[in-house]
Structure 1
Amino acid sequence: MDSGNLAWAVTATALVLVMTPGVAFFYGGLVKAKSVISMMMMSFGAIALVAVLWILYGANMSVVENPTDFAGNPFSDFGLANASSDQLVGIAYGATFAIISVALISGAIADRAKFGSWMIFVGVWATLVYFPVAAWVWGGGWAFSLGEFFGFDTTTIDYAGGTAVHINAGAAALALAIVLGKRLGFQKGIQKPHNVPLVLLGAALLWFGWFGFNAGAEGTFGLLGTEDSRVGLIVINTLGATAAAIVGWLVIEKIKVGKPTSVGAVSGAVAGLVAITPACADLAPGWALVLGLITGAVCCFAVELKWKLGYDDSLDVVGIHLVGGLIGTISIGFFGTNVGLLTGGDASQLVLQVLSSLGVLIYSFVVAYVIGLIIEKTMGFRIKNEDELAGVDTAVHGEEGYLMEERV
């Protein structure tokens, strides 16, 4: 790896890592004031545990020798004792994806989860779901090789994580929301952000870091600076789709409630970022704008599904990440350059995108549900009702997010 690729790979790794504190701020501002520490600790706990597991065996599991393999051998290079320096940079980059994928799930169970139980879920889900799914999508597994299996001229496209990150995390979030049940007083109006500036700060960090998330692979895997580098396309699409999604969300929000809100704007931004993630290198900029507009509008409606269907996804992980991930991944079958139905291709790309999305969605949901249910039935996953009323922060962590002292 030359010095330019190396410098960008390290920078991109740092950019993606800072996205998880961004998630912590974003989620932390959305919850009640007496739950902000609990919410942010779930993200920082994910950083700690997933990074350790990735170094020990997760990176080994994320690459397979044959498409039929479930996952790589976790003990093939336990603790990365034999990896080269260039390999270690790429592995560190991959770790940041694993970390944020797990952290995203926490938003679905805000205000009511035990930290210790969450950490057990993190370790088991990362091992049984994220590490193998990363191998399926990027490491030579069945999703990666699906086009070859069908004899198509193309293969499944997921440049930066529509399936492996967002559909994966969104499906697990739905499963945990069902397992833990509804918050006390679950009804429209229960979700009032206690600190809107904190939400905006978190969203800003996410958008900032997302350029490393989407464009990082161009340097991490030695592509930056070559004649066919797609980094320019990736960067402009990451900007354009996100901006268009804000517009799409705000238009629908204005129609629905009569006022465009700041939380709506940043929710639209995150939805746009989610949708462009798998497609960032395979859409023309104009189609990226179309994708953003559609995603912002649809996700603005999708976050209302929990009231109609009765699952308590506290911070709309399902409505934004699962729905946005599905839209972005499947859109490639319609808009993907030279492969989409509307851009010179046939139905083969659409088939691949749908099958890979559904495969990851179903597997992640089922396994997350089983893990969550076992934890709930044994050590308990949800805090006591009285602790929920008193506040998760003091009950679980013995701290308060905002301590107002009287002046003497």
Structure 2
Amino acid sequence: MNRAVRFHQTGGPEVLRLEEVPDPVPGRGEVLIRTSALGLNRAESMFRLGQYGIDPVFPSGLGYEAAGVIEAVGDGVTGFRVGQAVSVVPSFTMPDYPMHGELVLAPVHAVVVHPEQLSFEEAAAVWMKFITAYGGLIDIAGARAGDTVLIPAASSSVGLAPIQVAHRAGGPHPARLDVGAVLFKHLTIRGFELFEITTDDRRRAAAVEFVRDGLATGELAPVIDKVFPLEAIADAHRYRRPAVRSARSSSRSLGRRAGRKEVASVDVLSGGRRHFGVGLGWINQEMRNHGTNPDDRWRVMRERVEAMRQIWTRDIASYYGDFVDFDRITSWPKPVQRPHPPILVAGNGPNVAKRVISYGDEWIPMLRPGVLDHIAEFKKTARKPGSDEPIPVTLFGGDLADVDAYAAAGVDRVLFWVRPQDTAQMTRTVDEIARHLGDRLR
């Protein structure tokens, strides 16, 4: 029996299993490879978490990169033979061709002859990062000597590769970025992914030739952090610290930028009057569209809040979680309020008190039937560890006529739902609220 890495639900490294499955049989245009080494990249971590561009189909395999020896070939396969050493260029989807197993199938277009100067481990760590770098810098941007190349997260695998590729393209040297020169070029950011190159036969062939030549001259050399046995695949994922790395990818890290710097900046500009509310919503399709698996939403929110606290309260901050992971970053300005602006945790479910106590400062429920009874119970029973003080409650969507009932239930602050109006009407509405509240305003 073949052993393959599979998972039956999205989640952390603990969902991975090394399972016995029938030996795969190559079909037409397919190659069966007995693997000697597998490559682990950010893509596998995101796929396992359900945060990749393609959803897993359970039970799901995973893996884009592998190197080994051909065990068998299917009909129509030419140019390869049984016993030949090969490696795999990611040019397929993980649900179709998962590479993490002892015996794996690969489409023949993705199979390349093993670079003889590399070990199997090195060959399994070559194609994704170097073709990604080649595609962005050479195929699309046409980088050449004299160009300026800005490489964020340059210590990551797909950060180290562009440095080597850029050197091969013309030998640029590290230098300070002339921001003014960049601004006057009126540059446009263009999105790019590996498969734009690897699913095009002509462009893939050019990329493989570029990388292979660079490996032969020594201008390109894979960097391997650590090697794990297949049985320790979950440990390998833990070591990789997957996910959404704030220092490396701000679009998927701390609240999609509506986070650490913006909150701190508004707190400074307002003289310390900012309150920061966090909530999840309930529309699963919307969560997936924003890159979050609904099953992970509470853990994602908690890690983002905890990470922002680290950034707000430390000159040099680090955070290591399953969804947010960064090492030694700085961010300014710092909030005026100490230790940071109050964090208001939204939610109405049975576990909301635990979440407020764990990583919030206040609770912000939405007005709904029965909410005042819930608030009264919360004020009586919810306490931060080591404190006898009730936790503040802000009611969202309150009605001006019911403020006395809110106060009796223990509400500390009310956010009124004010509909869009022109300036004059809005001024009258705010004045009316102020007159009604009187001494309660503060």
Report the TM-score, using the length of structure 1 for normalisation. 0.25
**Higher strand residue share:** 2
Larger Cα-atom Rg = 2
**Higher helix residue share:** 1
